[in-house]
């Protein structure tokens, strides 16, 4: 019986791509809600997601508001409800800001940015050109937020009271 040798290309790929192997490893991450922030006419539920279990809040509220203000212009579109959620993900491969806003009753607008702390404060770079929407951990928050929106704002006809209920419905724990 003859045993086929493992192809050389696969061996080289495996040995040179340890980071790629990490990308396929699912390890739960901690998600923590923060108090609602108001920026540029939006009320947003902030979340922080941590790659490391000992995640501490690393972005103070003024810094968070400044980043959101840079990335989210005010809107006078009547279909824009002025409510949504924001995630700051301290991930294995970088730090990210995800901005999501409810629009037209049943749609979600979403923007993704890479963020870095520089000597003069936090800076953001749009990742729109990558086409990336979110990672699997961030999508778990989106799933929760979708259901919270359906159960509050959509169930109650998009009233101010339903928006308040939505903003007070948060996810916390391991995702």
**Is 132's pLDDT higher than 50?**
yes
Q: In sequence order, what are the beta bridge partners of 98?
A: 87, 112
Cβ–Cβ under 8 Å, residues 72 and 39: yes
Whole-model pTM: value is: 0.86
- Please, where are the H alpha helices in 33-169? 61-71, 136-149, 160-167
**Residue among 3, 60, 56 at smallest CA distance from 30:** 56
7-11, 65-69, 119-123, 166-170: least confidently modelled range: 7-11
Can you read off the two tokens belonging to residue 90?
């301290």
The per-residue pLDDT for range 139-158, each reduced to its tens digit, is 999 999 999 999 999 999 99
- Computed from CA positions of residues 48, 34, 147, 71, in that sequence, does the dihedral angle turn out positive or negative? negative
**Residue among 59, 33, 56, 58 at smallest CA distance from 46:** 33
The per-residue pLDDT for range 55-99, each reduced to its tens digit, is 677 889 999 999 999 999 999 999 999 999 999 999 999 999 999
Predicted local confidence at residue 7, as pLDDT? 42
Cβ–Cβ under 8 Å, residues 44 and 170: no
The per-residue pLDDT for range 29-48, each reduced to its tens digit, is 999 999 999 999 999 999 99
Cα–Cα distance measured from residue 19 to residue 58, given in angstroms and rounded to the nearest whole number? 25
**Is 53's pLDDT higher than 80?**
no
């Amino acid at each position: 019986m003859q045993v086929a040798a493992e192809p050389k290309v696969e061996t080289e790929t495996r040995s040179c791509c340890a980071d790629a192997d990490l990308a396929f490893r699912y390890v739960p991450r901690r998600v923590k809600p923060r108090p609602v922030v108001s920026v540029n006419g939006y009320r947003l539920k902030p979340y922080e997601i941590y790659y490391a279990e000992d995640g501490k809040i690393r972005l103070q509220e003024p810094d968070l508001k400044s980043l959101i203000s840079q990335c989210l212009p005010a809107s006078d579109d009547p279909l824009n409800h002025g409510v949504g959620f924001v995630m700051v993900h301290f991930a294995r491969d970088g730090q990210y800001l995800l901005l999501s806003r409810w629009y037209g009753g049943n749609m979600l607008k979403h923007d993704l940015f890479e963020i870095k702390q520089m000597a003069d404060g936090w800076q953001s770079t749009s990742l729109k050109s990558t086409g990336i929407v979110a990672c699997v951990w961030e999508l778990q928050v989106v799933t929760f937020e979708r259901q919270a929106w359906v159960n509050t704002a959509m169930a109650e006809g998009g009233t101010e009271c339903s928006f308040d209920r939505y903003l007070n419905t948060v996810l916390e724990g391991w995702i």
